Structure 1
Amino acid sequence: MTQWIGTANHGFATLAMEELRRLFREVKFVQLKAGEIFRMEVPLSREEAIAELLANEPIFLRHIQPIDRTLPIQGDADDLEALSELVRNARMRCEGKTIAIHLRRAEGTPFLYSASDTKAVLDAVIMELGGEPAMQSPDVIFSIYAGAEELQVGWGTPKEQLSDWPGGAVRFQREDGQISRAKFKLLEAERAFNLHFETYKEAMDIGAAPGGWTHLLLERGLRVTSVDPAELHPVLKSYPRLSYLKKNASDVKFPNGTFDLLVCDMSWSPMQMSKLVLEKLDALTNRATAIITVKLMHKKPLQTIRDVIERLESEFVLKKAKQLFHNRDEITLYLIKK
């Protein structure tokens, strides 16, 4: 029997738990933060549970943390001393490795210390043990969830925890002149799906306005054809590698095999979006990549997702479906043309 803390985007924990019920028999849940964070008990070993999660990663589970130990919260400096002692007893996990400290605090927790204060103390212990503190892409993560009465702590790799950010909350810094927050969605998709957009040459952006995704791809050096009857942001006019078609995508045809990347973040119904993407199939090269958001506009999101994937899998191989941190009422699909 093992225990875990799971996190989903706000309002989507129920869907994450539903997926986990299908994955693990006799799983039990306790909500820690309504609609977002929950504790899970699974009748499997740590290794068995991780293997199942990685082989069948749920769409709505953003982050998973093992609970290796619990420590009662005293509400004073003894809490940091107890955490320090726990790290000291894990010398083999630390020696010669880069270690990240992740702290999340439940609302109203009596644990007094901020993430930065906790990290400063535990980083010093890690260095004593021959480890190296890290912020991003660590070898190992020491995760701490400060609840109402206990510190629930666990060790794991970024792969095992599904993210190298605390709770899977991926943060990007807003840039001067940024067109829209939609850019963060595509940046996160690039990380989550292990893509490198600079390796592509020619992209089609369907439903591009105001142009956040187009802007990122232009910055990566691609030639981009953006299609939308609405206006693109004026800043994009300075890019000679941009072709802008102020039309409905359904009214545009392209030569066969033109694009090796298709992106689509349209606020259309999922089935209309699927139909439109399939209409552009001939314009894609063999093994072209598609990054598509699916808007969850109906009461049965899991059924909507199944219907969209089934339709697209007639011509694409689904590599991954995930609700990213920067998704709202939607998920993101990563597909390869057959």
Structure 2
Amino acid sequence: MFDLESRTEREEQSRFICTANHGFLPYAQEELRRLFGSVKSTVVVPGEVFAVTLQVSAQEAVEQIGAYPPMFLRHLFPVQFQENNGDAEQILAQLTSFILNRSELNGSRLNVQVRKSEGCSWEGNAGSLKQEVMDRLAPAGAEFTLQDADYIVSLFAGDEAWYAGVSRPADNLSDWNGGAIRFQREEVQISRAKFKLLEAEATFGIDFRAFHKALDIGAAPGGWTSFLLERGLEVTAVDPAKMNTSLLESPRLTYLRKNAGEVKFREREFDLLVCDMSWSPKLMAKLVTDLLYSLQTGGTAIVTVKLMHKKPLALIKEVITLFEESGMQLQRVKQLFHNRDEVTLFMIKYD
């Protein structure tokens, strides 16, 4: 067993399993390089999961990442146990011993999170592997929970090796397994775009019920508009395309079937502006910034930026600069789990 909890290892370096949205792994790696300088990484799942070694302690790494929240790094957990892929029964016995020897877990509520690749030696799915781990821990009195856990026990069973670690939920960037936030799809849900605002609400700590009047630019077919109406807001939706007919009966909806460049509003009419248009990022930024006069000082803007460029970091910086020059202050930029080839900007108007 490769146990990274020795005194020397703790003082000099730490290892993590890191996850990004598929296709954006190189940018998550680059974020860590910019943050820590010397970074050694190995791809575990192409395009999505990698193991990284940092030349700082695990606690220092977590504090640094928390102080400078990454855009593309979605989830991570510390590697404190590693075994080459082989006999699953033997690895599970060693893993169980490792977990039970963690004194901080005594009397703690645990969330066991398991992922696996197709080439790992466990023949069942990730759910059955998770149940096996829990069954082995249960006789020792382990208490399991999906929410409000004291610690997360993370396991990734890969083609080359099995990795595991124990951490506080707040130290993993997300308390969801792999950062994959799951929302239940509703029977009458207009589009999956609604999930983006649900995730933004949780990730950015935004209480959308605190707003009164929202402007939704590029609203059709109405995924974000439906979410805001459900939160009790008055919504002005702008789009030349058709909105879902189920929304048109709402007395709190004003639907302007026009291009965003054709509409005019009162100054400071809205306290929330949202935009999820599938447009060129620079054209989108131009349309939105031209309408910022209608957003109150202190108002909030949630905008997605489509990454149609081969250099997304440079593109994101350019778009953010356009908004900052127009009186917006960036709070967070994040590629959410429900973002695909895009990131979400959370901004406040200061002027």
TM-score category, normalised to shorter length:
over 0.9
- Please tell me whether residue 169 in structure 1 is matched to residue 217 in structure 2: no
- Cα distance change of structure 1 residues 299 and 256 upon mapping to structure 2, 3 Å threshold: same
Which of 261, 279, 282 does residue 268 from structure 1 map onto? 279
* 1:11 corresponds to: 23
1:131 CA displacement: 5.2
- Please tell me whether residue 75 in structure 1 is matched to residue 75 in structure 2: no
Deviates more, 1:83-92 or 1:208-217: 83-92
* 1:212 corresponds to: 223
* 2:258 corresponds to: 247
- Please tell me whether residue 290 in structure 1 is matched to residue 301 in structure 2: yes
Which of 210, 231, 235 does residue 246 from structure 2 map onto? 235
CA contact (8 A) 2:215 2:235 kept: yes
Q: What SS does structure 2 have at the residue aligned with 1:10? A: coil
* 1:188 corresponds to: 199
**Alignment RMSD:** 1.8
Counterpart amino acid of 1:291?
I
Give the alignment's TM-score, normalised by structure 2: 0.91
* 2:131 corresponds to: 120
1:42 CA displacement: 0.8
Counterpart amino acid of 1:308?
V
Q: What SS does structure 1 have at the residue aligned with 2:248? A: helix
1:182 CA displacement: 0.9
Which of 51, 56, 60 does residue 63 from structure 2 map onto? 51
- The CA distance in 2 between the partners of 1:179 and 1:207, in whole Å, is 15
* 1:197 corresponds to: 208
Give the alignment's TM-score, normalised by structure 1: 0.94
The runs of 4+ residues in structure 1 deviating greater than 4 Å are: 124-131
Counterpart amino acid of 2:65?
L
CA contact (8 A) 1:136 1:165 kept: no
Counterpart amino acid of 1:205?
D
Counterpart amino acid of 2:291?
K
* 1:331 corresponds to: 343
Once the two structures are superposed, the pairs formed by residues 139-150 of structure 1 within 5 Å of their partners are 139-150=150-161
- The CA distance in 1 between the partners of 2:95 and 2:175, in whole Å, is 20
| Percent of matched pairs sharing the same residue | 47
CA contact (8 A) 1:138 1:164 kept: no
- The CA distance in 2 between the partners of 1:247 and 1:206, in whole Å, is 10
Gap regions ≥5 residues in structure 1 = none
Which of 264, 269, 286 does residue 258 from structure 1 map onto? 269
